A and B are shown apart, each in its own frame.
Chain A
Amino acid sequence: MHRIETTHFGTVSFCDDDVISFPRGLPGYASERRFIFLPHSSPVITYLQSVDRADLRFVLISAPAIDDQYVPLIEHSDASTLFPSFEEAQRAKLASWFVVSAVPKGEPTINMLAPIIVRLDERVAVQAVRSDIKYSHAAPLRLFQPIAKKSAC
């Protein structure tokens, strides 16, 4: 068991199996490779806390809970990070999340251009930036209605 002092959540305990590996970091935070999920009272929301940097945390919201028609576009470089082989791609269990942000007037938005894709069985993840123009990088959160039948993962 490990303990870290975080800026937003105080002392947090976790074990090695809790760590989510981002082999390529995240855009803007390329050197941050290890994170843990911290629960929120809502099942569709989670915090993504850096293990190595106390002040770095993201608020994530479940992509299926926001838009059950949303299909992540995982490009080749991200796919090779998540699935070293075709066989692994077939059996992988994935969860997808949108990063919640607030710019520039303080209204919460979600980045649907670049969902966080977590391979649950291997605890490896990428932020899969899509190159099409189908989704916004800053979609206002208030525009979305709850999808009651969905859960966080």
Chain B
Amino acid sequence: MVGRRQGEALLIGDSIEVQVLEVSGNRVKLGIKAPRDISVVRREIALTIVENLSAAGELPCELLATVLESITVP
């Protein structure tokens, strides 16, 4: 864990810099400098991309049907 104040920064490896630009209430605004080939994305977006890619693939139909049947409105 690393404690930082507004205006301070930290380095990840040699090429990624994260700076605390603004702290307001419970929100923190970060500035990130990273090489172009490093993807910077909100965690929840990254998780949803992975979920969507999986969801669009083949679902195990038999198992899915069993589970869906169990939650189907009578």
Taking CB atoms, residues of chain B closer than 8 Å to A141 are 67-68, 71
Are B74 and A146 neighbours in the complex by a CB distance under 8 Å? Answer: yes
Residues of B within 8 A of A (CB): 42, 44-45, 47-57, 59-60, 63-64, 67-74
| Interface secondary structure of A, over-half rule | loop
| Total A-B residue contacts, Cβ distance less than 8 Å | 112
CB-contacts of A123-149 with B (<8 A): 127, 129-131, 137-138, 141-142, 144-148
Contact in complex: B44, A130 (CB < 8 Å): yes
Say yes or no: B72 contacts A129, CB within 8 Å: no
**Of the candidates A45, A102, A129, A151, which one forms a contact with B45 in the assembled complex, judged by CB atoms under 8 Å apart?**
A129
Output the least CB separation between A107 and chain B (Å). Answer: 7
Known: A28-B56, A40-B68. 14 other contacts (CB 8 A): A28-B48, A42-B69, A42-B72, A43-B73, A44-B72, A45-B68, A99-B52, A99-B55, A101-B52, A141-B68, A146-B71, A146-B73, A150-B73, A151-B73
Given contacts A101-B55, A131-B44, contact A28 B63 (CB under 8 A): no
User: Which residues of the partner chain B approach A108 to less than 8 Å between Cβ atoms?
Assistant: 59-60, 63-64, 67-68
Residue of A nearest to B55 (CB): A101
Check B54 against A101 for contact (C-beta < 8 Å).
yes
Determine whether the beta carbon of B59 is less than 8 Å from that of A137.
Answer: no
In the complex, the answer to whether A137 meets B68 with C-beta atoms within 8 Å is: no
Which residues from chain A sit less than 8 Å from chain B, CB to CB?
26-29, 40, 42-45, 55-59, 61, 65-66, 99-103, 106-109, 111, 113-114, 127, 129-131, 137-138, 141-142, 144-148, 150-151
